[in-house]
Structure 1
Amino acid sequence: MKRLMICTLIGASGLALTGCKEDLPPFNQLPDFIQGDVAFSHYDGVTDDLLTAGLGATGLASTPAPAFADTLNPTPAELRRLAIYNNYRALVDTVPGGGYGEFFGPQVGASGEGMIAGDEYLAFMTVPGSDHPVSVMAQVPDSFDPDSPCMVTAPSSGSRGIYGAIGTAGEWGLKKGCAVVYTDKGTGTGSHNLETGAAQRIDGTLTSSDAEAVQFRADLSDAERADFNATSPDRFAWKHAHSMANPEKDWGLHVLQSIEFGFYVLNEKFGRELGNDKRLITIDPDNTLVIASSVSNGGGSSLRAAEQDELGLIDGVAVSEPNVNPVVDTGFTIRQGDGAVITGHSRSLLDYTTALSVWQGCANQAPEVRDAAPLNAVFNPPAVGENICNSLANKGLVAGATLDERASDALRILNEEFGIQPEQNLLAPVHFGLAVAQSISMTYANAYGRAGVEDRVCDLTLAATDGAGAVTPITAGAEAVLFSSSNGIPPSAGVNIVYDGAEGQPTHLASSVSPSSSQADYGLDALLCLRSLAQGSDVVTGSDLTGNAADLSAAIAGGITEVRASGNLRGKPAVYVTGRADAILPINHTARPYYGLNQQVEGEDSNLHYYEILNAHHLDVLNGFPGVADRYVPLHHYYFQALDLMWAHLTDEQPLPPSQVVRTVPRGAITTPLSAVNLPDIATDPAVEDRIVFEENQLRIPE
């Protein structure tokens, strides 16, 4: 990058106190988007560390989870340790035989337990147009070499908090000796107890004081909060859902700002002192290798950052299963093998998740998946599935006279009308049982529409519930641990989605009886409401929405437009891996069309490489269970391989392998440890029949 571009960076970030001259680098200065103080901690790598919080590789894989000395008053260090433990295990399969400790893990390629000494810097930041705090963090390992600096971005996956990418981009970057910069992307736990006023400080501890900076408070006056509590006691507002900021539109900017914060931290630590508390900037984008990375929502954020990187901060991109909503381009199609040509690609996240939330509960009972889908019977009571099918049939939303016929039609609708890959059918039931699509549908409908908690979109709120599904005050112990235990998108850590419009009384959504059917059908009426908002018309009648519903649906559509990805990576070298069986982010609407869009936009200038991994899916943690371990391999292994390929490309000018399908071999039983035979490398020169190609306006994927 040219010196002029560095000067542009300095001016934009507020780092400069002087002019930018070739012979006089500017002074280091805290970026003006940082709000408040920067917290600093050093970890010795023996009693505590950056990667494992002192637990080491063995501790991360062990149960029970680390405990608090005082369960009601955990210290910041205890909350951090539990957050790292939970976030690592939420994304990485640590069960013996699944690859942990051999193909990945803190101890792989490291000494001892893989504990890493270094410094950690934590702060709040904001983006233009919003005053809602976003967490940003930089970790600098003691192994960092200021003469050969490198940096890796680690925006959180899903709606997780600041440690959400500790086991993915964090682990890889720290073991390389790179600084790692994290952001929660305006998500994270960020709970606001509307009854008590309690909210999390940046370190996860609770406060009810309005004078203290916290991760999130609902934008309600005292009188408005009192009115809300009078009709809906014991409810929570949640940062991602209720900040009214549509944080996803700024996920790329959050990553770019985290990089700028990283440069500030590095120059505070290594920049040449001039006296008077001034330091010269000696580590800058011109001499630092920067890889934008992470997985899922974090991977999508890094892709968006590369699209928006006008200052040339990013050298390369390596991500896994990126959540991107590509701009819809009907100028190209997708075809897998000799299968049907797919024209209806690039549906939005809210579009396909609301479809899954409506029809998947019935599809779980289809003969094709009912007994074959792992964990289906554990997570999805057949009686509820039958009720969902009956309610859908009575509304004309599935066809058939029997349960089998109705369930099979629900599965057909998802596969044929919504472009859900058949490879996803066996994993979709467990995701429904875990309320993945349901929670995404509620959270993102609120976020895209910039709805406040007081708007009660589709009569859905958030609260703790008892064994019968009724709303109850959260226990003090459960609330104290929310920062460390919640994934940022309820239902999580004891806070559930509540259907206020359920027949009888407000009830946990999964147990709700719909007023239109008087059936315990997973509150289908509420899920149909969310689906109607997403598609812009009433799902049952097909009529246009009116009144507040029409206004909210239009706002949601506008919010989705704000998050659409352009596909223009500015010619940056980029690689990403995706599992063909991804049942959370269907690849015909995310990974595949993003690659196709990029080919359309950048053409011969494109430097994007796409690796589709067979027998891999979105949540490797499920591979620790029988029935899943038998069929699937860890995508995490290929994510690290993608990072290694990008590193070799940027440091040694090694060519990136062509786009391809990687044909893994399932191990067949959870008792059979994974070996290299199961996990063939991404091929340097793949066979012709394995190559993914874009030609004649079609993305062609080998079978």
Structure 2
Amino acid sequence: MEHRIRMRAIALAVGSTLILAACGGGGSSNHSVSGIAAEGLAIANAVVTVKDAAGTTRSVTTDASGNYVFDTSGLSYPLMLQVTGTKGVWHALVTEDDRGKPANINNATNSVALLALGATTTAELQAAFAAGSFKSVSNAAVANADSRLLDALEAELGKRPESLRSARFTPGTAEAEGDETDRLLTLVDARPTGGGFGTYNVMPEHVWADTYTTKTYDGVSDDLLTAGYGKSGLSAATTAIFGSAAELRRYAIHTNYRALVDANKAAGGFGTLYGPNIDVNGNDTLGEGKIPGLEAIAYSGDSSGKRKVTLMVQVPDSFDRTKPCIITATSSGSRGIYGAIGTSGEWGLKHGCAVAYTDKGSGNGMHDLARDTVNMIDGTVSTASAAGKKAHFAADITKSQLDAFNVATPNRIAYKHAHSQQNPEKDWGRNTLDAVAFAFYVLNEKYSTADASGKKPRVIRPANTIVIASSASNGAGAALMAAEQDRLGLIDGVAVSEPQIQPKDVSGITIKQGSATVPTIGKPLLDYFTYANLYQPCAALSAAAAGGPAGAALAFYATDRCTSLKEKGLLTAATLAGQADEALQKLHAYGWAAEHDVLHATHHAFATPSIVVTYLNTLGRFSVLDNVCGFSFATTGGTGAVTATAAVIQSMIFSVGNGVPPTSGINLVYNDAVGGPTRDINAKSPSTNRADGALDGALCARAMVTGVDPVTGAKLTGTQLALSEKVQKGIREVQVEAKLGTKPTIIVAGRSDTLIPVNHAARAYYGAGQKAGSSLLRYYEVTNAQHFDTFIDLLPGYDSRIVPLHVYFNQALDLMYAHLKTGAPLPASQVVHTTPRGGTAGSAPAISASNVPRIATSPAAADVIGYAAGTVSVPD
């Protein structure tokens, strides 16, 4: 990415020729030198001094992004540049051959200068600069030193990067992350040795060293995968003991494993088709499945602590340093650091791979505003003032703002995903890549031995390690984002399940299921969620949705929702039955299908409204003070009224919370309800005076996405328009291009996924990827599978209708691993037709392999998913 420079800073430079050069329009000119001063982070507002061969010096100050430009008229080459950053004093040599190119100053150019001048320390470079003893250095010596550095980086990465002396890139700043070239500056410590360079281990950029901890687990009393519970303990409910950080960790693993995998009954496949006891060949040989090994954890973030994620690496004792592999396990949903333990975490640990986790800037960051308490990285509780920037999350508000808010809106909760004001989703790919870099650091700390310099050479590197980006749901989306952003070759392949992914451009793409064309595809997440939020409760009353699981959970507001929608002209049918059918057809027209009909009730009851409010806030970067569309988070009583949150809730939130209320008794509150703030499902809307599930708030949220009033069709104005524009900007920031190049990628998704419909996500991304030339992208669609495996033997009616998608997630990872290890071809994109267990809801017969046939190595022609002339063709 070309570097940028602020125009007001350029105006202080020396003319229009320099302006063109500094903006990346050709690099330095014959009469100027421009570039970026960086050490990972931009070296902002710092003095760059240049000295020429005759001893003449000139100085210029960098801008906030590290850009600089100065006039070289009258100077004699070679030039030597010097700048002081927070990590050291850096130098760069610029020769006649560098005319017309950017001239960056960073730790890499410092290393090049060391080799070119035969120096061994930066102090010697400073002396050479002061004395002007660099003047005899030749063009060839500098070019050779740069080439030797690139040789070392190629041996590290497995691909040759662009020269860091002249690369146009975006360094990180206090406000934003840098790009992949920026990452390379601090991925390794390159030092001259033997006429070339050696690469040494270095703590990755942004990792807070004072939060870095490691612990080993014996695989008996405690372990990496099951926290000592083993298969038997994971399959059963457990009584939490909330006290020490160790107990919080154990119960967090238990909760998160069961949240992603159906471990409720053996009849659903746990312990027979998957689970800790099932080995890599699918056999029941591992007993309780406990896995010993090392766990390392740390924060990664900016200096303020506002933009911060948790990173973790688990290294099983079975890791083979001669055949290294890393699997990413970015958390699904808004879950904490153990959110992917039961999905890609389990697969990686069983295969002897290091597992690289990140909570991607969300997680259970709870700030109890009434008590002004927060959670720490290990889940323990602290006052916000004592925690400081080491709090997992604290709302960015002043003490006076907090006091005023507590008086006006007492007993509210701020949540990190919703209220961090960072729109963390835009950085999910970067977070996943950071987790990979952290994994390499942890592995080299464990398996390398320091040489005479006291540094540890990098023995485990991207070039000799298989790295698979993986996870489910939001974590799967993060893996795909990371693969698209990966310019260094850190990731070798991708295998993900049910991705929450938002393609930027689906123009010219059509999706057909059988002979029917899907009417609406590829909408952004908040777009289709705010639409579902309007119509799902009413649609759940349709005869086509009869008998759906958990239907009773919204029955008490669904009828009023239908009536209110009719009253506002959003439905036209005269009868309740007609209104329900009409609402369901609207959902069909917006990307859902008949496979989703009976599942709408569950999803609105347990997910849709809370996701709308969370993403409305996060995408718009709103503060908890804003109360956008009248919504907030709080503990509520039996009638829906707001109550104080008990201290015990926060003490356990790290272990049992999912990062998105409703969770652990913290619910979604509609502040504008008739009669005062009330839980959304109990709330009467002011415009209808009807208990319609806070329809007024749902209409407001829809307007934030579309920019128009959904009832009148009028464009928003004033404050509402400004808020909507912030939300729309956030939506654009998280959309992706589906440009994977030749990176092998597998997506599996369930056709019945009602939360993240395949027409908006998996199918749409596959089509966008084909259009973009992603030649090794494969898509496997599984019938009778959906988003929440944990519902299967938890909510009666799922067990008889739905098969576990997790079975196919494991197969996808198996296929990718074999492809990367042995070159085994990836099967063609296809539909996998499964057979539900049937029987009585709540007591379906046991699943068997015949219910879930394998992904076919050579699928029948009638099952192949095709793409031609912009059309994705999915067999019925």
Compute the TM-score of the two structures, normalised by the length of structure 1: 0.96
The answer on whether the counterparts of 1:330 and 1:343 sit within 8 Å (CA) in structure 2 is no
Return 30-39 or 286-295, whichever deviates more.
Answer: 30-39
Change (3 A) 1:77 1:518: same
Is it true that 1:657 corresponds to 2:827 in the alignment? yes
Q: Which consecutive residues of structure 2, in runs of 5 or more, have no partner in the other structure?
A: 1-152, 162-180, 280-284
**Match in the other structure for 2:804:** 634
In the TM superposition, residue 331 of structure 1 has moved relative to its aligned partner by: 1.1
Is it true that 1:544 corresponds to 2:720 in the alignment? no
Which residue identity does 2:631 align to in structure 1?
L
The answer on whether the counterparts of 2:537 and 2:600 sit within 8 Å (CA) in structure 1 is no
Q: Secondary structure at the match of 1:515?
A: coil
Is it true that 1:507 corresponds to 2:682 in the alignment? no
The answer on whether the counterparts of 1:272 and 1:282 sit within 8 Å (CA) in structure 2 is no
Q: Whose radius of gyration is greater, 1 or 2?
A: 2
Write the deviation string for residues 369-427 of structure 1: whole angstroms up to 9, x where unpaired: 1x3312212x222x3111010011100011111110111111111111x1112211111
**Match in the other structure for 1:54:** 228
Return 6-15 or 643-652, whichever deviates more.
Answer: 6-15
In the TM superposition, residue 275 of structure 1 has moved relative to its aligned partner by: 5.4
CA RMSD of aligned residues (A): 1.7
Is it true that 1:193 corresponds to 2:368 in the alignment? yes
Q: Equivalent of 2:594, from 397, 415, 422? A: 422
Q: Equivalent of 2:323, from 133, 136, 148? A: 148
Change (3 A) 1:412 1:53: same
**Match in the other structure for 1:40:** 214
Change (3 A) 1:373 1:22: farther
Change (3 A) 1:4 1:474: closer
The answer on whether the counterparts of 2:156 and 2:199 sit within 8 Å (CA) in structure 1 is no
- Using the alignment, how far apart are the partners of 2:834 and 2:302 within structure 1? 42
- Using the alignment, how far apart are the partners of 1:25 and 1:150 within structure 2? 22
- Using the alignment, how far apart are the partners of 1:247 and 1:62 within structure 2? 34
In the TM superposition, residue 210 of structure 1 has moved relative to its aligned partner by: 1.9
In the TM superposition, residue 132 of structure 1 has moved relative to its aligned partner by: 2.2
**Match in the other structure for 2:155:** 3
In the TM superposition, residue 477 of structure 1 has moved relative to its aligned partner by: 1.7
- Using the alignment, how far apart are the partners of 2:205 and 2:866 within structure 1? 45
In the TM superposition, residue 17 of structure 1 has moved relative to its aligned partner by: 5.2
The answer on whether the counterparts of 2:334 and 2:659 sit within 8 Å (CA) in structure 1 is yes
**Match in the other structure for 2:845:** 672
In the TM superposition, residue 4 of structure 1 has moved relative to its aligned partner by: 7.1
Write the deviation string for residues 427-448 of structure 1: whole angstroms up to 9, x where unpaired: 12111111x1111110111111
Is it true that 1:333 corresponds to 2:510 in the alignment? yes
Write the deviation string for residues 323-371 of structure 1: whole angstroms up to 9, x where unpaired: 00011221121100011x23531101000101111110111111211x3
- Using the alignment, how far apart are the partners of 1:524 and 1:19 within structure 2? 66
**Match in the other structure for 2:434:** 257
- Using the alignment, how far apart are the partners of 1:547 and 1:574 within structure 2? 45
Q: Equivalent of 2:697, from 518, 521, 526? A: 526
Q: Secondary structure at the match of 2:385?
A: coil
Q: Secondary structure at the match of 1:629?
A: helix
Is it true that 1:315 corresponds to 2:492 in the alignment? yes
Which residue identity does 1:190 align to in structure 2?
G
Change (3 A) 1:261 1:19: farther
- Using the alignment, how far apart are the partners of 2:414 and 2:306 within structure 1? 17
Q: Equivalent of 1:231, from 390, 393, 408? A: 408
The count of corresponding residues between Structure 1 and Structure 2 is: 690
- Using the alignment, how far apart are the partners of 2:772 and 2:439 within structure 1? 31
Is it true that 1:82 corresponds to 2:257 in the alignment? no
Change (3 A) 1:77 1:575: same
The answer on whether the counterparts of 1:136 and 1:184 sit within 8 Å (CA) in structure 2 is yes
In the TM superposition, residue 274 of structure 1 has moved relative to its aligned partner by: 1.8
Q: Which structure is higher in RCO with an 8 Å CA cutoff and minimum separation 6? A: 1
- Using the alignment, how far apart are the partners of 2:193 and 2:641 within structure 1? 62
Q: Equivalent of 1:293, from 458, 464, 470? A: 470
The answer on whether the counterparts of 2:750 and 2:784 sit within 8 Å (CA) in structure 1 is yes
- Using the alignment, how far apart are the partners of 1:561 and 1:516 within structure 2? 32
In the TM superposition, residue 568 of structure 1 has moved relative to its aligned partner by: 0.6
In the TM superposition, residue 15 of structure 1 has moved relative to its aligned partner by: 3.0
**Match in the other structure for 1:613:** 782
1:123-142 residue pairs with structure 2 within 5 A?
Answer: 123-126=298-301, 131-142=306-317
- Using the alignment, how far apart are the partners of 1:532 and 1:543 within structure 2? 10
The answer on whether the counterparts of 2:542 and 2:577 sit within 8 Å (CA) in structure 1 is yes
**Match in the other structure for 2:647:** 476
Q: Secondary structure at the match of 1:446?
A: helix
Is it true that 1:410 corresponds to 2:587 in the alignment? no
Write the deviation string for residues 186-210 of structure 1: whole angstroms up to 9, x where unpaired: 1111011111111110000000042
Q: Secondary structure at the match of 2:405?
A: helix
Write the deviation string for residues 53-86 of structure 1: whole angstroms up to 9, x where unpaired: 00001100112x2321xx5xx1101111111111
1:12-51 residue pairs with structure 2 within 5 A?
Answer: 12-16=185-189, 18-19=191-192, 24-35=197-208, 36-51=210-225
Q: Equivalent of 1:244, from 421, 443, 459? A: 421
Which residue identity does 2:585 align to in structure 1?
R
Change (3 A) 1:398 1:124: same
Which residue identity does 2:853 align to in structure 1?
P
- Using the alignment, how far apart are the partners of 1:454 and 1:537 within structure 2? 24
1:109-128 residue pairs with structure 2 within 5 A?
Answer: 109=279, 110-126=285-301
Which residue identity does 2:703 align to in structure 1?
S
Q: Equivalent of 1:161, from 336, 341, 350? A: 336
**Match in the other structure for 1:645:** 815
Return 140-149 or 3-12, whichever deviates more.
Answer: 3-12
**Match in the other structure for 1:690:** 863
Compute the TM-score of the two structures, normalised by the length of structure 2: 0.77
Q: Secondary structure at the match of 1:268?
A: helix
- Using the alignment, how far apart are the partners of 1:204 and 1:31 within structure 2? 24
In the TM superposition, residue 661 of structure 1 has moved relative to its aligned partner by: 0.3
Q: Which consecutive residues of structure 1, in runs of 5 or more, have no partner in the other structure?
A: none
- Using the alignment, how far apart are the partners of 2:277 and 2:198 within structure 1? 39
Is it true that 1:439 corresponds to 2:610 in the alignment? yes
Q: Secondary structure at the match of 1:326?
A: coil
Change (3 A) 1:443 1:227: same
- Using the alignment, how far apart are the partners of 1:490 and 1:42 within structure 2? 33
Change (3 A) 1:88 1:4: closer
Is it true that 1:281 corresponds to 2:455 in the alignment? no
In the TM superposition, residue 11 of structure 1 has moved relative to its aligned partner by: 4.0
Q: Secondary structure at the match of 1:26?
A: strand
The answer on whether the counterparts of 1:421 and 1:588 sit within 8 Å (CA) in structure 2 is no
- Using the alignment, how far apart are the partners of 1:158 and 1:245 within structure 2? 17
Q: Equivalent of 1:388, from 554, 558, 561? A: 561
- Using the alignment, how far apart are the partners of 2:375 and 2:689 within structure 1? 39
- Using the alignment, how far apart are the partners of 1:595 and 1:295 within structure 2? 16
- Using the alignment, how far apart are the partners of 1:592 and 1:255 within structure 2? 23
Q: Equivalent of 1:464, from 620, 625, 635? A: 635
What percent identity do the matched residue pairs reach? 45
- Using the alignment, how far apart are the partners of 2:669 and 2:270 within structure 1? 37
Q: Secondary structure at the match of 2:392?
A: coil
Which residue identity does 2:539 align to in structure 1?
A
**Match in the other structure for 2:792:** 623
Which residue identity does 2:778 align to in structure 1?
H
**Match in the other structure for 1:210:** 385
Is it true that 1:564 corresponds to 2:739 in the alignment? no
In the TM superposition, residue 22 of structure 1 has moved relative to its aligned partner by: 9.4
- Using the alignment, how far apart are the partners of 2:506 and 2:191 within structure 1? 46
Which residue identity does 2:622 align to in structure 1?
A
Change (3 A) 1:97 1:26: same
The answer on whether the counterparts of 2:541 and 2:558 sit within 8 Å (CA) in structure 1 is yes
**Match in the other structure for 2:22:** none
Q: Equivalent of 1:93, from 256, 262, 270? A: 262
